[in-house]
């Protein structure tokens, strides 16, 4: 499987929630980017459970946190429901120019890399 690992820093919007992203090619070239990306999505879903797409994940999380700060009763009920959508371990995006999987910490990265080491060979 071919992907690149990026440590999230100040340039990344989701750095407050995730430490890394795995980037896959959008092209069906020799490394079959979309296939590898979907294989990785399936692996994360099988191992960590489903997660919302990162833009939706972020909006849900921000809304929930904002309402919780206000002490609104609706936030109490939604706090439990938010965990169904905002998996604390991972999220993903299927952008026009990139395919990414966001990871919360070194643990998720190491677990994935044990099963799917980076294939550096060009096919």
What pLDDT, in 10s, does the model give residues 5-36? 999 999 998 999 999 999 998 877 766 789 99
The interaxial angle of helices 106-115 and 33-48, nearest 10 deg, is 120
pLDDT greater than 80 at residue 105: yes
pLDDT greater than 60 at residue 56: yes
Task: Decide if 61 is inside a domain.
Answer: no
Task: Decide if 12 is inside a domain.
Answer: yes
pLDDT band for position 103 (cuts 50, 70, 90): very high
Give the chain's domain count: 1
Average pLDDT over residues 102-116: 96
Residue numbers of the domain that contains 36: 4-51+87-115
Task: Decide if 123 is inside a domain.
Answer: no
pLDDT for res 122: 45
Neighbouring CB atoms inside 10 A of 3's CB total: 23
pLDDT greater than 60 at residue 121: no
Task: Decide if 103 is inside a domain.
Answer: yes
Task: Decide if 74 is inside a domain.
Answer: no
């Amino acid at each position: 499987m071919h992907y690149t690992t990026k440590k999230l820093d100040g340039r990344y919007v989701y750095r407050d929630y995730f430490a890394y992203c795995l980037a896959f090619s959008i092209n069906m070239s020799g490394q079959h980017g979309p296939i590898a990306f979907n294989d990785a999505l399936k692996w994360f879903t099988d191992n960590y459970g489903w997660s919302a797409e990162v833009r939706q994940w972020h909006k849900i999380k921000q809304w929930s946190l904002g309402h919780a700060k206000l002490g609104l009763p609706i936030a109490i009920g939604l706090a439990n429901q938010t965990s169904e959508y905002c998996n604390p371990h991972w999220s993903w995006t299927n952008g026009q120019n990139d395919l990414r999987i966001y990871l919360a910490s070194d643990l998720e990265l190491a677990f994935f890399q044990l099963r799917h080491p980076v294939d550096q060979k060009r096919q």
